[in-house]
Amino acid sequence: MEQERERNGRLCCLCSGRAALRRPKTLQQLCRECFFRVFEDEIHQVIVSNGLFTRGERVAIGASGGKDSTVLAYVLAKLNQTHDYGLHLFLLSVDEGITGYRDDSLETVHRNQIQYGLPLKVVSYKDLYGWTMDEIVATIGKKNNCTFCGVFRRQALDRGAALLKVDKLVTGHNADDIAETVLLNILRGDIARLSRCTSITTGEDGPIPRCKPFKYTYEKEIVMYAYFKRLDYFSTECIYSPNAYRGFAREFIKDLERLRPRAVLDIIRSGENFRISTTAKMPEQGTCERCGYISSQKWCKACVLLDGLNRGLPKLGIGRSHGVIGASRDRNERNGGKTIESKQCGTLDF
């Protein structure tokens, strides 16, 4: 058999046809069709085994135009039809207002809308918060800008999902992303996030749960799938995030993966097996008094950051914000009661 493989070149380990690739996760030699089938079957099993969806649900797919969300939209639409999930799928995009990056990627999303036949909803930072990321970066510089974008984007997705009246929101977070998050939360000592960062579904106690069907799917395999399927996606990185802290964790994991391909899954499994001490004080979830969004403080992080921007103090909400809200309110009361209630932020209408 080995001699036959040498004569015919690399053979697919499943069908004995000519292999086209080696799977990064298992190092198996596979032809394209077998790779497509295995890739899709694994995602289907993750969906079924974790009970991610219920028949008839409205599901929004967080679509950025990048490889992860594009492959997610394509595969989910295909599985929904093949396995008759009975889901009503929508594309949901966030326009952060980044010239030369998001405007170009949104053109890809609009093409995906036509290619996959899925309705599209776009929400923007400018409409929701009164600021674009270009304007924020012009105000604060390129340091800490990811803090603003991450907080605003999360809330913008929830607001868009509320407008679509969906039951679930799915994102293209892959195995590499989750492994990076586990390491980052360990490095930061963030017990609260460490306890839930490996969950395949989060926000179940909130208005719109979020699911990650790609939890065990390697980034390299998503790239391979998109390449061999010739999917239309946008591959340029955000112009404001080359020095993001997450990048250091990403490079470390890539080094580990070169030595041990299953290192990514090992980190995820380790995160799943963490047990938080019962003596650890966890933040209590409530709602923001300003906008109604989920928050463990009186004001959510987005409202604190927005307050700083609108008052010309953009660094006000950077880092830990304990005490900031109370002090801010005292100053506002002394200044005639003008608060961020008069600023454009909107409310969450759930």
Q: What is the CATH number of the domain that holds 197?
A: 3.40.50.620
Looking at the structure, do residues 296 and 319 belong to the same domain, yes or no? yes
Q: Within 13 A of 95's CA, how many CA atoms are on the CB side?
A: 20
- pLDDT for residue 332: 41
Residue 7's pLDDT is 43
Structure tokens at 201: 């579904």
Contact 265, 175 (CB under 8 A): yes
**Co-location of 295 and 268 in the same domain:** no
Phi, psi of 94 (to 5 degrees): -115, 125
Lowest model confidence (mean pLDDT) among 180-189, 224-233, 239-248: 239-248
pLDDT in tens, 264-303: 999 999 989 887 776 666 667 778 888 888 787 888 889 9
Same domain, 291 and 214: no
Last residue of a domain, one of 236, 259, 277: 277
Would 33 be classed as within a structural domain?
Answer: no
95 labeled binding residue: no
327 pLDDT band, cuts 50/70/90, is very low
103 is in an annotated binding site: no
* Model confidence at 139: pLDDT above 50: yes
pLDDT of the residue at 127: 95
In a domain, 271, yes or no: yes
Cα dihedral 268, 272, 277, 278 sign: positive
327 close to 335: Cβ distance less than 8 angstroms:
no
Contact 86, 55 (CB under 8 A): yes
> What domain range is 320 assigned to?
281-340
Contact between 294 and 348 (Cβ < 8 Å): no
Instruction: Report how far residue 148's alpha carbon sits from residue 171's, in angstroms, rounded to the nearest whole number.
Output: 19
How many angstroms separate the CA atoms of 25 and 35, rounded?
Answer: 12
Q: What is the DSSP string of 124-183?
A: EHHHHHS--HHHHHHHH-SSSHHHHHHHHHHHHHHHHHHHHT-SEEE----HHHHHHHHH
Is residue 17 marked as binding? no
For residue 323, is pLDDT > 50?
no
84 marked as binding residue: no
Q: Is residue 239 one of the residues assigned to a domain?
A: yes
Structure tokens of 294?
Answer: 């989920």
pLDDT-derived band of residue 341, with 50, 70 and 90 as boundaries?
A: very low
The CA-atom distances, in angstroms, between 183 and each of 151, 155, 162, 193 are 20, 24, 31, 11
| Domain assignment present for 90 | yes
CA–CA dist 255, 258 (Å, integer): 5
Residues 157, 120 share a domain: yes
Same-domain check for residues 306 and 182: no
- Is 161 annotated to bind a ligand? Reply is no
68 annotated ligand binder: yes
Out of 90-104, 213-227, 316-330, least confident range: 316-330
Nearest 5°: phi and psi at 9? 80, -165
Extract the tokens encoding 265.
């899954």
- Same structural domain, 81 and 228: yes
Q: Which amino acid is at 327?
A: A
Q: Could you tell me if residue 26 is inside a domain?
A: no
Q: For residues 165 and 229, state if they share a domain.
A: yes
Do 233 and 310 belong together in one domain? no
Residue with tokens 């674009």: 132
**112 confidence band (pLDDT: 50, 70, 90):** very high
Residue 241 in marked binding region? no
Whether 65 and 183 map to the same domain: the answer is yes
pLDDT exceeds 60 at position 172: yes
Domain membership of residue 16 (yes or no) is no
Same domain, 87 and 112: yes
Domain assignment present for residue 136? The answer is yes
**Boundary-marking domain end, from 255, 277, 299:** 277
- Structural domains in the chain (count): 2
Last residue of a domain, one of 277, 295, 324: 277
- Asked if 232 and 312 sit in the same domain, the reply is no
Statement to judge: residues 102 and 165 lie in one domain: yes
